[in-house]
Structure 1
Amino acid sequence: MSDDPRLEVSASRIQQLVDVLSLLSLGQYDPALTQIQVGAEEDQMALLEQSLSIFVRELSEAHAENDAHISQLEHQRLELERKLELINRQRAAISELSTPILELWDEVVTLPIIGLVDTGRSLEITERLLQRISDTGCRYVIIDVTGLDVIDTMTTDHFVKMIRSAQLLGAHCVVTGMSSNISQTMVGIGAELGGVTTLRTLKEGLKHCLRLLWANTANG
């Protein structure tokens, strides 16, 4: 038996390992390309080839599992985005239905405010009304608060600012259906509606706007 500790290995066996490791470094885990052929010799090189073969196989399996997990996460992300988009569309539809802006006559629209109005909804109502005035050039706006439950200081402030903003865009504003509770609240917190016509019913508000519209039309 030779005492020489050196191991003679063919160049092809070494090249095989180099090729496989190169493929792995490039992210290529295809078993058909990264399979290591273990030499028939029972030497230290064979043990290395066996170890690397096991490592490559386990790495390939882990990579496949990782790809599957990433694919699943991507599918879940797309599904979540789809649901969020649906929720946003439903929210927009509900918002539009909860605060519709209706055309009663040429250049006359009404904004019925129903239910509880908080700061967020006040801002949304204001934005939609001003956009409608800007888009259509309507000259008369009837804000009907018959269905308004309660109003607080912050909401009243937004309400007054909405009317003033609409007036700055050239719209004549009429407030109808104001209950005694709402009017007392507005007076109590010092809200100023000077110059704004207030009437009892939406019908009276429409008649008022039509009189102004026809008078302006007659005067040319």
Structure 2
Amino acid sequence: MEILKIINLCKTYGYTEAQVKALNHVNLSVKQGEFVAIVGASGSGKSSLLHLIGGVDRPTSGQVIIDGVDIYSKNEKELALFRRRKIGFIFQSYNLIPVLTTEENIKLPMLLERKTDEGYVDELLGILGLMDRRHHLPSELSGGQQQRAAIGRALINKPSIILADEPTGNLDSKHSKEIVDLLTFSVKKYNQTLIMITHDLNIAQRADRVVYIQDGFLKQNEVSTH
């Protein structure tokens, strides 16, 4: 089942001589439950693509269709609600709120939806290995623990798609492997789709499919790693 379809997606910044085409007629289809790695040099358009998939920026032209919904046909309020319910974001910088505990950071998107599911919170804390850190502040956690808390926050509303932008960029190789192990376990357990930007080819090779981007173009020789 197709969860994501990108059609002729373009993003241009600036005007006239200063104009930069970050994305140039990008087309991509992703199935539910698939792990897709996006690889490319700095400035190739990876982050622009991820932001447009996630609805945090608007394209110059083209469509992003998630679960049958053209997300850019929505107004800002509708899009924000859709994003909160359907998409989970994980960034290289953990973006945890420093005055909230691990548990409170994880639960924040759920609370914005005015719902509670303490059983699922406990389940996530167990999977993340953070049960004994649930009442700790981010400053009391290691880098790997902070990233696991950020993953929990991304998973808490059971989104259809997880978007990860260099989630292991600030971690050593041991903790990077732990984070990727955790993400692949989580998306399989909850039948979610994972789209990850990474510079690490060892991580990319663990994906179901690697897609290369260069100068705003998706290279057509997509590689299946299995």
With CA pairs under 8 Å and 6+ residues apart, which has the higher RCO, 1 or 2? 2
TM-score between the two structures when normalised by the length of structure 2: 0.31
More helix by share: 1
TM-score under structure 1 length normalisation: 0.31
